[in-house]
Amino acid sequence: MKTRFKKLFFIFILLLPLHVANAAEEFIIEDIRVEGLERVTPGTVFNYLPMKVGDKFNDSLSSNAVRALFRTGFFDDVKLVRDGNDLVLIFVERPAIGTITMIGNEDIKTEELLENLKQIGFAEGRVFVQSQLDMVEQELQRQYYSFGKYAAKIVSTVTKLNNNRVAIVIEVSEGLAAKIKKINIVGNEIFEEKELLKEFNSSTSTMFSFFTKVDQYSKQKLSGDLEVLRTFYLDRGYLNFTLDSTQVTISPNKKDIFITINITEGDVYKISDVKLGGDLTLPEKDILDLILVRSGEIFSRKDVTETTKKITDRLGEEGYSFANVNSIPDIDKENKTVSLTFFVDPGKRVYVRRINFSGNNKTRDEVLRREMRQQEGAWISTSQVQRGKLRLQRTGFFKDVNVETPLVPGTSDQVDVNYSVEEAPGGQFGIGIGFSQTSGIILTTNLTQDNFLGSGKKVGFVFNNSDINSNYSLSFYNPYYTLDGIGRGFNVFYKETDAGEANLSSFSSKDAGADVRFSVPVSENNTIETAFMYQKTDVTLGTNPSAQLTNFINANGNEYDIFSWNFSFKFDTRNKAILPDKGTLHRLSSEVTLPVGSDVEFYKLRYKTSWFKDIYEDYILTLGADLGYGDAIGDTTELPFFENFYAGGPRSVRGYDEFTIGPVDNTGLAIGGSKKVVGNAEVIIPVPFLSDVKQARVTGFVDAGSVYGPDEDVSFDDLRYSTGISAIWVSPFGAISASYAVPFANKSTDRIQNFQFTFGTSF
């Protein structure tokens, strides 16, 4: 014991001077100096320093100062030294980030990553903190895991630069995404696994997996599929359906993913009663008409959600833009029924104070305002506000249109409607050259102004020249000739055509004339159009004319004054005029010559339609038809051959030479016909590298059609068919279209042309 005590006492004696040496000697601070700063200013230091001149320096104050300065994150080392009664602060600053470089990243864009890193203070010019870089690596690894790339490797290199800076290089080896090898659903008794997996976006490898990438695993995609599975059951009455667990396992080589989903289907519930509650505001019958669910039916969450949306939208049309509609279920587990109450809280009726426009630097305010359906001073109608946005988009004057309805400050029942637009180039001047397999070299000159001086009026001059025709036209159109939206336009034209160059019966023609046209809006989607036209036509037969052409010329002459009246009715709900992907178009038009002044008399009827529908994700089905019928009237013997309908080619039945389907003359050349039947079915295919390109489109198609002579009946046995793939790009230099089609059910006289393309022509 004595020996141990002596040892402890000896150690105490040795440590005592060290303790005294480390203890801070108290003194009154007369001045504070800083040393070692490079980028950090002294003012910044003093701002964080918990002491000032005149304070008594001691151990507690010293510890607080060191902790406060280290917490700033600016320094690697901080020392406090006494110089007389002055306190000297000596710093070693942390280096600044000079550059950040990403290498090997494809799935995560460098610009997006650097922008996100700025939000956490990790950016060029900021202080480098190793722990932040570690967090960046971990987050990148997590994101790649979410993409299914479990073999991804992240390696960071920090290199010292001059001026106490560092260069950071983040090198990524992404590897290949793990592919789904098997998806198992456990617990399903009512529905087969195959039926459930059809609803998923994720699947095992298929023939087109390299293109659709449905077999590539991602956490986000699986989460979406699980929600789809839940919705599938809830829409079929399985109100107590549960997702019990989900296991995702990966093979040792990190290439294959196995997914197991455990579910409990539960029981089917039926609706026992449907009631309304709250402040209905509108007549109860009007709201009941909007309800899609009925007593005795199987419960469907889809119908319930759609009902709440319909009621909310209906209230929004009456000015209750902040209405809230909730479906409150009362579940009877014993009887497997559910009673639904739709509780309506309309809120306050909201009025529009002002409608404001921004971004229209060129277009006059009145051009935008006349497209509005919402009125200032009236209660707001959400559908009318959105209708105004759609009408602005349809003018073609703007690249983008957005609308917001902020509350007026200091009020709870007034909003402003603010439309912001991005103007498109309204004027175009082009001198171009193009080519099509039928028309040959095409020289194009056009000077058009769709929004002339910001007035919304359109003026244009067009000159096209090809082996088949030369076309000159001068046009003007005012879509608001009257305040009610009646449009009026004029057109003067001259055209020369050499039909022999287009595989048709040998003749040439010269047409000159003018027309005046009016458009009358009947409703938001219905428009009546009418036009009066005079045309002077001079026809010259070729060196080896057919008997059909010769007989018509002998009976009716070869020079004609033609006065005609055109009338059409159009129903159009499409979202765009060029390359639409939503809505429907129906157009029924007629042309009839006037009996007074016309040298030949005839009439023509035409019906065109197109329909667009989402069928799966970004795949869009479009169906179209083009029907035509014409005949002579009065003393004219038959429909003039230069007014015949034609089929075949890139804008009709693809895979067949242009204009060549249908009747032929006695020389074996196509002559067209008085009746036309053409139908198209296409699927717009999303292309990954073109998904954000609005002016390009790829489709798979099936075409069918034919043309019939005046003595022929329409027979579907004579239809020609083709199937293939096509692409269209509306480039700054004109429209480029290409297609490859395989015809079938063709006749021996048909001319096949599998690959077809045009450049610089309209479509």
| pLDDT for residue 443 is more than 70 | no
| pLDDT for residue 12 is more than 80 | no
pLDDT at residue 745, rounded to an integer: 83
Structure confidence by residue, pLDDT tens digits, 665-684: 888 888 999 999 999 999 99
pLDDT at residue 112, rounded to an integer: 77
The CATH 2.40.160.50 domain(s) of the chain lie at 427-759
CATH number given to 270-345: 3.10.20.310
* Residue given tokens 């034209």 in the structure block: 493
pLDDT band at 17 (very low <50, low <70, confident <90, very high): very low
SS3 assignment, position 338: strand
pLDDT at residue 462, rounded to an integer: 79
Structure confidence by residue, pLDDT tens digits, 236-276: 999 999 999 999 898 888 888 899 999 999 999 999 999 99
Highest mean pLDDT among 117-121, 361-365, 728-732: 361-365
Type of residue at 410:
G
Read off the pLDDT of each residue in 548-568 and give the average, rounded to a whole number.
Answer: 93
pLDDT at residue 516, rounded to an integer: 97
What percent of the chain has pLDDT above 90?
42
The CATH 3.10.20.310 domain(s) of the chain lie at 19-93, 96-173, 179-264, 270-345, 351-423
Lowest mean pLDDT among 220-224, 429-433, 596-600: 429-433
State the DSSP string of 145-205: HHTT-TT-EEEEEEEEETTTEEEEEEEEE--PPPEEEEEEEES-SSS-HHHHHTT-S--S-
| pLDDT for residue 179 is more than 70 | yes
More confident residue, 518 or 504: 518
Element (H, E) at 383: helix 382-395
Separation between Cα atoms, residue 626 and residue 604, nearest integer Å: 13
Read off the pLDDT of each residue in 409-418 and give the average, rounded to a whole number.
Answer: 92
Q: Which CATH class is domain 96-173?
A: alpha beta
Burial 290-308 (b: 16+ CB within 10 A, else e): bbebeeeeebbbebbeebb
pLDDT at residue 27, rounded to an integer: 86
pLDDT band at 454 (very low <50, low <70, confident <90, very high): confident
The runs of H, that is alpha helices, within 423-544 are none
pLDDT at residue 18, rounded to an integer: 35
pLDDT at residue 560, rounded to an integer: 94
Q: Give just the sign of the alpha carbon dihedral 576, 443, 477, 590.
A: negative
Q: Which residues pair with 647 in a beta bridge?
A: 661
Structure confidence by residue, pLDDT tens digits, 190-247: 999 999 998 898 888 777 666 667 778 888 888 999 999 999 999 999 999 999 999 9
Q: Which CATH class is domain 427-759?
A: mainly beta
pLDDT band at 510 (very low <50, low <70, confident <90, very high): very high
Multiple choice CATH, 179-264, 3.10.20.310, 3.40.630.30, 1.10.1660.10, 3.30.70.980: 3.10.20.310
At the topology level, CATH places domain 351-423 in: Ubiquitin-like (UB roll) (3.10.20)
Q: What is the mean pLDDT of the chain?
A: 85
More confident residue, 31 or 151: 31
| pLDDT for residue 537 is more than 60 | yes
Element (H, E) at 100: strand 96-103
Are the C-beta atoms of 506 and 472 separated by less than 8 Å? no
Read off the pLDDT of each residue in 584-601 and give the average, rounded to a whole number.
Answer: 94
Separation between Cα atoms, residue 200 and residue 220, nearest integer Å: 12
Residue 693 exposed, middle or buried by CB count within 10 Å (0-12, 13-18, 19+): exposed
pLDDT at residue 19, rounded to an integer: 36
Spatial CA neighbour of 649 closest among 387, 438, 466, 443: 438
Separation between Cα atoms, residue 593 and residue 601, nearest integer Å: 5
More confident residue, 177 or 407: 407
| pLDDT for residue 8 is more than 80 | no
Structure confidence by residue, pLDDT tens digits, 456-474: 888 888 777 766 778 889 9
Burial 134-170 (b: 16+ CB within 10 A, else e): eebeeebbeebbbbbbbbbebebeeeeeeeebbebeb
Highest mean pLDDT among 592-596, 688-692, 732-736: 592-596
Q: Output phi, psi for 484, to 5 deg.
A: -80, 0
Instruction: Please name the residues in contact with 164: beta carbons below 8 A apart, sequence gap of 6 or more.
Output: 38, 39, 93, 95, 96
Three-state secondary structure of 55-89: CEECHHHHHHHHHHHHHCCCEEEEEEEEECCEEEE
pLDDT at residue 356, rounded to an integer: 96
Multiple choice CATH, 19-93, 3.40.50.10490, 3.40.50.920, 1.10.1760.20, 3.10.20.310: 3.10.20.310
pLDDT at residue 236, rounded to an integer: 93
Read off the pLDDT of each residue in 93-115 and give the average, rounded to a whole number.
Answer: 83
96-103 and 165-173 strand pairing: parallel
Q: How distant is the alpha carbon of residue 183 from its chain centre?
A: 31
pLDDT at residue 22, rounded to an integer: 41
Spatial CA neighbour of 580 closest among 616, 627, 614: 614
User: Tokens at residue 376, please?
Assistant: 């200032």
Are the C-beta atoms of 388 and 573 separated by less than 8 Å? no
Separation between Cα atoms, residue 250 and residue 258, nearest integer Å: 6
Q: How distant is the alpha carbon of residue 546 from its chain centre?
A: 52
pLDDT at residue 432, rounded to an integer: 43
User: Tokens at residue 174, please?
Assistant: 């992404």
| pLDDT for residue 393 is more than 90 | no
State the DSSP string of 519-561: EEE-SSSEEEEEEEEEEEEEEEE-SS--HHHHHHHHHH-SEEE
Read off the pLDDT of each residue in 709-721 and give the average, rounded to a whole number.
Answer: 90
Structure confidence by residue, pLDDT tens digits, 125-136: 888 888 888 888
Structure confidence by residue, pLDDT tens digits, 346-355: 999 999 999 9
pLDDT at residue 735, rounded to an integer: 66
pLDDT at residue 147, rounded to an integer: 76
User: Tokens at residue 503, please?
Assistant: 């595989």
pLDDT at residue 273, rounded to an integer: 93
Q: How many of the other CB atoms lie within 10 Å of CB of 218?
A: 19
Structure confidence by residue, pLDDT tens digits, 600-614: 999 999 999 999 998
Instruction: Please name the residues in contact with 746: beta carbons below 8 A apart, sequence gap of 6 or more.
Output: 656, 720, 752
End-to-end Cα separation, the chain, in angstroms: 108
Structure confidence by residue, pLDDT tens digits, 635-670: 898 999 999 999 988 889 999 988 889 898 888 888
pLDDT band at 732 (very low <50, low <70, confident <90, very high): low
pLDDT at residue 446, rounded to an integer: 59
pLDDT at residue 587, rounded to an integer: 96
More confident residue, 439 or 504: 504
Lowest mean pLDDT among 431-435, 667-671, 723-727: 431-435
Separation between Cα atoms, residue 118 and residue 419, nearest integer Å: 31
Type of residue at 549:
L
Q: How distant is the alpha carbon of residue 479 from its chain centre?
A: 28
